[in-house]
Amino acid sequence: MTSIENIKRRCEANAKSHGYFLTPDPEFLQNLFEGLKENEERYGYGACPCRLASGNFEWDRDIICPCDYRDADIEEFGQCYCALYVNKDVFDGIKPMEPIPERRPQAKVDQAMGKTTKSISTSSETAETSDTNRKLYYCKICGYVAFREEAPLKCPICQAKQEMFGEIVFNIGIKAR
Amino acid sequence: MTSIENIKRRCEANAKSHGYFLTPDPEFLQNLFEGLKENEERYGYGACPCRLASGNFEWDRDIICPCDYRDADIEEFGQCYCALYVNKDVFDGIKPMEPIPERRPQAKVDQAMGKTTKSISTSSETAETSDTNRKLYYCKICGYVAFREEAPLKCPICQAKQEMFGEIVFNIGIKAR
Amino acid sequence: MTSIENIKRRCEANAKSHGYFLTPDPEFLQNLFEGLKENEERYGYGACPCRLASGNFEWDRDIICPCDYRDADIEEFGQCYCALYVNKDVFDGIKPMEPIPERRPQAKVDQAMGKTTKSISTSSETAETSDTNRKLYYCKICGYVAFREEAPLKCPICQAKQEMFGEIVFNIGIKAR
């Protein structure tokens, strides 16, 4: 079982490795760690402690912490949706922490919420098939490659925007004489 | 439009996430941010503020900041070509900031410079076709995969050198009995 | 030739970029840098200074520093096998540095050790062929792609565990009417 200590260490290392900070309020931080631990125990993965997860891995994938939206939110607002991860200005109190808009597309929220009333068997089938929707995307600037349903909002290596991603297509030709 | 604030935050996060620092001279730093902003507005991408960009994305790709040469330059000289990104010794003043040799191959400089006199239509065609020159490279040490025209000078994950990269080749065989 | 200074800078940048620290004992640290330098000169790659390398690149690949086991060891024990890389608790002395179990599978140790008594020609052949055992793995959470013999123990981008990795399989179908 994952301990709070483990989660704390993982979040700290992840923040540092991306140039971020953890929220400066120690009590709030402890609550977020506990939320992550609860989700890990309940779902088997650390879904975002500030959003409602469906329990279906495929449908929650974008909100597994650090979520798909974190880097774009930190760039725009100085903090992620939860304010677990913040930038230096928010950490230093120069910029106030405040509620930010939900960047997760409504369609994903609806899918996840609809899902909670469906049977497990359906969900497994969906989980199975949805992996086939992944494509190989590459960053046109640094060449970073990711296998996802959509290109990431930001390149984790060079911070390029989503528009800078292209799809890798394999052309296999057969020539007949 | 990208604000100076946004560029500052992006550079700060990128420096931290790679273990680097931004140049310690605040006035010089401000000039570099303004150069990046100007390039973003002029070209649609943040070409290096210390080099002459062509305006053709494909030909400038290697000098979009952080440029392809940064990590190798910081390892060898403690700073990138611009000195926007520096290492701890340069940041602390233990090592002086100074002009460093241009690591960008002369052929790339010539291509970009020749380009500025050509018509836009030609440039789009070139941009189109040059993407087909990309290959899948992998780091033999950590397995990192990039889709580029050449292997990166350093692996962004484990810092292995370019010589440690190999090309991924797919063998598709058809057997006839 | 790689200088101690170069190795120091590389390790420092790598530690920062992953949210880690270098061991706080300066004398011990210097010994580790010297061990890395010796290995780079002897083998052409910086094999772990605390393990016995075989000299065969393919067989030592998992113990080239930073080794394949570092991130998992730091998450579990706060330090890598050598204690070259440590987390904040160990760096600050809150957690003592101590010997940790070897995470490298015994089969890999045996292979590398058996190897030292074999001839170079055999080793080159093995090195040649073992690259064909690599597969494309992807992180089911963030989409990170790596070309390796096994999925990494932790995703270098989002820190997901090895179980979260899947294999990318290309289906090329030929339909006959």
Q: Using one digit for the tens of pLDDT, what is the confidence trace for C88-130?
A: 889 999 999 989 999 999 988 888 887 544 433 344 444 444 5
Q: How far apart are CA C8 and CA B48, in angstroms?
A: 28
Minimal CA separation from A17 to chain C, in Å: 4
Q: Using one digit for the tens of pLDDT, what is the confidence trace for C150-177?
A: 999 989 998 888 999 999 988 776 677 6
Torsion of CA C53, C55, C57, C63, to 10 degrees: 10
Q: Counting runs of H as helices and runs of E as strands, what totals does chain B give? A: 7, 5
Query: How large is the angle between the packed helices B70-77 and C4-18, nearest 10 degrees?
Result: 130
Instruction: Return per-residue pLDDT of chain B as tens, 177 residues.
Output: 578 988 998 898 888 888 899 999 999 999 999 999 999 999 989 999 999 999 998 899 999 999 999 999 998 899 999 999 999 889 999 999 989 999 999 988 888 887 544 433 344 444 444 567 899 999 999 999 999 999 999 899 988 889 999 999 887 766 666
Say what the pLDDT of residue C115 is: 53
Give the number of C-alpha atoms closer than 13 A to the C-alpha of residue B73, restricted to the C-beta side.
Answer: 22
Q: Which residue has the tokens 């340069």?
A: B90
Q: Which residue has the tokens 């210390």?
A: B50
Minimum CA–CA partner of C150 in chain B: B143
Q: How far apart are CA B52 and CA B73, in angstroms?
A: 19
Q: Using one digit for the tens of pLDDT, what is the confidence trace for C32-81?
A: 999 999 999 999 899 999 999 999 988 999 999 999 999 999 988 999 99
Percent of chain C scored above 90 by pLDDT? 59
Minimum CA–CA partner of B151 in chain A: A143
C79 shares contact with chain A (CB less than 8 Å): no
Say what the pLDDT of residue C14 is: 87
B16 shares contact with chain C (CB less than 8 Å): yes
Give the number of C-alpha atoms closer than 13 A to the C-alpha of residue C144, restricted to the C-beta side.
Answer: 26
Say what the pLDDT of residue A18 is: 83
Q: What phi, psi does A171 have (nearest 5°)? A: -100, 120
Say what the pLDDT of residue A171 is: 73
Which of B129, B148, B157, B171 has the most A C-beta neighbours within 10 Å, making it the best mutation to test the interface with A? B148
The lowest-confidence range among A166-170, B120-124, C84-88 is B120-124
Minimal CA separation from C111 to chain A, in Å: 32
Please tell me whether residue B134 adopts helix, strand or coil conformation: coil
Neighbours of B131 (CB within 10 A): 13
Minimum CA–CA partner of B173 in chain C: C172
Whether the bond between A99 and the residue before it is cis, its omega within 30 degrees of 0, is: no
Q: How far apart are CA A120 and CA C66, in angstroms?
A: 42
**Nearest to C66, CA basis, from C78, C83, C90:** C83
Of B19, B157, B172, the CB nearest to C16: B19
Q: How far apart are CA A118 and CA A54, in angstroms?
A: 10
pLDDT of A131 over the 80 cut: no
Say what the pLDDT of residue C27 is: 95
Whether the bond between A101 and the residue before it is cis, its omega within 30 degrees of 0, is: no
* Token duo for residue A60: 């929650």
C134/B143 CB distance under 8 A: yes
Minimal CA separation from A99 to chain C, in Å: 24
C144 shares contact with chain A (CB less than 8 Å): yes
**Nearest to A29, CA basis, from A98, A83, A95:** A83
Q: How far apart are CA C10 and CA C3, in angstroms?
A: 11
A145 shares contact with chain B (CB less than 8 Å): yes
pLDDT band at A115 (very low <50, low <70, confident <90, very high): low
- pTM (predicted TM-score): 0.76
pLDDT band at A86 (very low <50, low <70, confident <90, very high): very high
CB contacts of A157 in chain B (<8 Å) are 156
Q: Which chains pack against B, by 3+ Cβ pairs within 8 A?
A: A, C
> How far from the centroid of its chain's Cα atoms is residue A157's Cα?
15
E-state strands within chain A: 21-22, 85-86, 135-139, 145-148, 165-167
Please tell me whether residue B22 adopts helix, strand or coil conformation: strand
* Token duo for residue A2: 């994952």
Of B87, B141, B145, the CB nearest to C13: B87
